[in-house]
């Protein structure tokens, strides 16, 4: 952002004169002045370029010590925002902040704990998972340029999944302070620009006061629906230097106001409520609408008042899995029958209401007289490059640009007001759907028997063996159920917000293993049993997360869904190869994870994690899971490598 750059340099120049004590500090402006007398005095500290004899200083100058520092102020700002954790792989450009977290944040209350990761992608993914459980951001930091580059895919996941993440990266604003060739390589004039397409907001503050204000603003924007990651590029000198004037002169910490997310206007709420109450076949579709446990209660309340069926996207805990009105297996038929479809925060409204026939013709899924309504905050913050908004949904009838969870209280109130005195028709509808739900559950049990005794182990067998050891605990499933053909959703009873958090958002591989650990970190203080089914391919993107789990003593049960492949891609390779009439016998090349088979239990042991496997006999699975859960309940991570069927 060049327009900010000039001003920043001026402010930094002013800061420098005040911040750096001693002879070196005094000499720097003098030396600069000698090089460029045409500049006004307030600009004197600008870099004069590499002229021999020019004396350049920084906080790293030998012999300079001080008792207060910018990094400590930054820690206090983060603590004021309720940030509890700071995940990072170390990097020179944020070492001033790193040291402050370790020697100030971790030693004084309220504690800000450093979480050591082995890849910047893991730092972001941990923060991603944490936020979905805890409902607020944790911090993560990256080395300038290379660290941020590593982090970028995980940032895109968080952006697409609408999750708040508070991110920091180093920056070397003043050229003369870059002390080595490496620091030049690790500097970008506009570092955040690389990820700006998929962050909600970024800034490069020029002084400590600016950092405080921008940090609070970054937190606030991250937490304003639609949620998303925000990024601050923080000057290395600003982190490392003494606070200008000493500790007594530290800037105040800006106050965070109580925010109110945008809800639909009263007239729109009345109109939507009228349509829902008057509908003969209403259908509610829930996507990322329950941002909080209160949101989940409200989706249930709305459905129960109306006796309306609900279909859940699987991207969040949007509706209890065994609620009688949950009709996830009947989406197709319910859509074709619906006269009113209400979609709450749909990620892909186009596909909700539009079908593409084999001949390419687009057709409306809903019947001609039906009305479709979306309530979504996504359109309040659109961006154009990355296409995560999906295709334009021209067949939606009413698109309400508002946060669904913030709108639900008003909608529920209005629906209640409009409900007729006699509820018999609504109750009858609810009873009919309850019977269908039970029928679907029984069907799931009957279908679960296929392949029950097979090796590799079938998905329903895995799901039921896991549930047997988890169900009496306060469990939390931290991986998307889709990759196991949604057997957990079909067979388990989940009705709490923390019991399921969906998936990556952008389908970037390597999300599940670290994100689930971040979620487990959040679950730890609540005493919950954290469980994640991670793909073998996913785990191998960043197996170092196992070391983080052991090192940080984060209790989690990892189940490796070991189908020995990037399985989705194998299936696609088969389709392409057959289309070209070449056969599928070589489709595994580049997709299979075999020859040698990876011993994940051994990998985990090497990282200090309790592990068992490979478990190939389904009859051995239950006992292995029980032993692992016992370890997790003691506060340690555990891993079971289960050799499974594909899906």
Partner 1 sequence: MMPAKLSLTIALILASAAAAAQSPVKGDAVRGTKIFTTFGCYQCHGYQGQGSNAGSTLAPNPVAYAAFAYQLRQPRARMPAYSLKILSDQDAADLYAYLLTIPKARAVADIPLLAKAQKPEK
Residue with smaller CB distance to partner 1, 3 or 580? 580
The region, left, alpha or beta by phi > 0 then psi within -120 to 50, assigned to residue 135 is: left
Residue with smaller CB distance to partner 1, 255 or 357? 357
468 scored as a contact of partner 1 (CB under 8 A): yes
Residue 571 C-alpha from the chain's centroid: 27
Residue with smaller CB distance to partner 1, 373 or 459? 459
Residues 469-508 that bind partner 1 (CB under 8 A): 482, 485-486, 491, 493
Cross-sheet strand order for the sheet of 201-203: 113-116, 85-88, 139-142, 165-171, 229-235, 201-203
d(CA 29, CA 40): 12
Q: C-beta of 483: minimal distance to partner 1 in Å? A: 9
451 scored as a contact of partner 1 (CB under 8 A): yes
Among 365, 459, 604, 640, binds partner 1 (CB under 8 A): 459
453 scored as a contact of partner 1 (CB under 8 A): yes
Q: C-beta of 299: minimal distance to partner 1 in Å? A: 21
434 scored as a contact of partner 1 (CB under 8 A): no
Residues in the chain: 647
**Cβ atoms within 10 Å of 417's Cβ, excluding its own:** 10
577 scored as a contact of partner 1 (CB under 8 A): yes
In sequence order, what are the residues at sequence separation of 6 or more whose Cβ sits closer than 8 angstroms to the Cβ of residue 160?
Answer: 198, 388, 504, 505, 506
d(CA 55, CA 45): 11
**Vertex 425 angle, CA 419 and 429, to 5°:** 110
Piece in contact with partner 1 (CB under 8 A), picked from 119-127, 167-175, 460-468, 498-506: 460-468
- What 3 state SS string does 564-604 have? CECHHHHHHHHHHHHHCCCCCCCCCCCCECCCCCCCHHHHH
Residue with smaller CB distance to partner 1, 216 or 462? 462
Residue with smaller CB distance to partner 1, 85 or 321? 321
567 scored as a contact of partner 1 (CB under 8 A): yes
417 scored as a contact of partner 1 (CB under 8 A): no
584 scored as a contact of partner 1 (CB under 8 A): yes
Coil, strand, or helix at residue 201? strand
Q: C-beta of 465: minimal distance to partner 1 in Å? A: 7
Piece in contact with partner 1 (CB under 8 A), picked from 1-9, 63-71, 236-244, 446-454: 446-454
Coil, strand, or helix at residue 140? strand
Coil, strand, or helix at residue 325? coil
Piece in contact with partner 1 (CB under 8 A), picked from 73-81, 371-379, 463-471, 508-516: 463-471
11 scored as a contact of partner 1 (CB under 8 A): no
Residue with smaller CB distance to partner 1, 8 or 480? 480
Coil, strand, or helix at residue 440? helix
Contact residues: partner 1, CB under 8 A: 357-359, 361, 442, 445-454, 456, 458-459, 464-465, 468, 482, 485-486, 491, 493, 565, 567, 570-571, 574-575, 577-579, 581-585, 587, 645-647
């Amino acid at each position: 952002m060049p327009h900010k750059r000039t001003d920043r340099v001026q402010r930094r120049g002013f800061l420098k004169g005040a911040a750096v004590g001693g002879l070196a500090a005094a000499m720097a402006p003098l030396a600069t002045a000698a090089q460029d007398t045409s500049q006004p005095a307030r600009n004197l500290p600008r870099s004069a370029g590499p002229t021999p004899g020019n004396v350049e200083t920084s906080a790293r100058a030998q012999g300079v010590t001080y008792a207060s520092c910018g990094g400590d102020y930054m820690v206090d700002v983060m603590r004021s925002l309720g940030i509890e954790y700071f995940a990072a792989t170390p990097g020179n450009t944020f070492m001033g902040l790193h040291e402050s977290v370790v020697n100030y944040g971790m030693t004084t209350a309220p504690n800000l704990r450093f979480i050591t990761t082995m890849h910047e992608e893991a730092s972001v993914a941990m923060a991603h998972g944490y936020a979905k459980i805890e409902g607020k951001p944790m911090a993560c930091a990256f080395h300038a340029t290379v660290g941020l580059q590593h982090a970028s895919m995980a940032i895109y996941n968080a952006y697409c999944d609408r999750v708040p993440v508070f991110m920091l990266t180093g920056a070397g604003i003043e050229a003369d302070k870059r002390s080595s060739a490496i620091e030049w390589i690790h500097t970008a004039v506009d570092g955040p620009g690389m990820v700006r397409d998929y962050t909600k907001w970024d800034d490069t503050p020029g002084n400590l006061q600016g950092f405080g204000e921008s940090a609070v603003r970054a937190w606030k924007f991250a937490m304003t629906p639609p949620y998303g990651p925000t990024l601050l590029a923080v000057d290395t000198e600003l982190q490392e230097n003494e606070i200008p004037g000493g500790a007594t002169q530290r800037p105040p910490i800006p106050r965070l106001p109580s925010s109110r997310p945008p809800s639909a206007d009263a007239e729109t709420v009345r109109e939507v409520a009228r349509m829902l109450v008057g509908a003969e076949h209403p259908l509610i579709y829930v996507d990322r609408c329950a941002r909080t446990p209160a949101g989940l209660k409200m989706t249930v309340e709305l459905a129960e008042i109306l006796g309306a069926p609900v279909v859940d996207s699987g991207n969040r805990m949007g509706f209890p899995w065994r609620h009688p009105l949950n009709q996830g297996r009947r989406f197709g038929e319910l859509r074709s029958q619906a006269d009113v479809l209400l979609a709450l925060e749909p990620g892909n409204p186009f596909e909700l209401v539009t079908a593409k026939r084999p001949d390419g013709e687009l057709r409306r899924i809903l019947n001609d007289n039906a009305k479709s309504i979306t309530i979504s905050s996504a359109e309040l913050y659109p961006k154009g490059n990355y296409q995560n908004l999906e295709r334009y949904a021209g067949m939606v009838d009413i698109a309400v640009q508002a946060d669904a969870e913030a709108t639900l209280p008003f909608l529920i109130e209005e629906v209640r007001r409009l409900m007729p005195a006699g509820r018999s028709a609504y109750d009858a509808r609810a009873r009919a759907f309850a019977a269908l739900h039970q029928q679907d559950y029984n069907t799931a049990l009957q279908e679960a028997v296929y392949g029950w005794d097979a090796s590799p182990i079938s998905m329903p067998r895995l799901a039921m063996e896991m549930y047997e050891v988890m169900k009496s605990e306060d469990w939390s499933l931290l991986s998307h159920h889709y990759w196991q053909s949604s057997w957990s959703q079909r067979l388990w009873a989940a009705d709490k917000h923390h019991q399921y958090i969906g998936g990556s958002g952008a389908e970037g591989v390597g999300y599940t293993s670290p994100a689930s650990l971040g979620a487990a970190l959040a679950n730890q203080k609540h005493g919950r049993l954290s469980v994640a089914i991670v793909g073998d391919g996913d785990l191998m993107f960043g197996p170092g997360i196992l070391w983080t789990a052991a090192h940080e003593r984060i209790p989690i049960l990892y189940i490796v869904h070991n189908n020995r492949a990037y399985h989705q891609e194998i299936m696609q390779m088969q389709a392409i190869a057959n289309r070209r009439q070449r056969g599928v016998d070589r489709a595994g090349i580049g997709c299979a994870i075999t020859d040698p088979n990876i011993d994940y239990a051994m990998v985990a042991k090497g990282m200090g994690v309790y592990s068992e496997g490979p478990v190939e006999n389904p009859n051995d699975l239950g006992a292995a899971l029980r032993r692992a859960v016992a370890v997790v309940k003691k506060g340690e991570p555990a891993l079971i490598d289960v050799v499974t069927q594909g899906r």
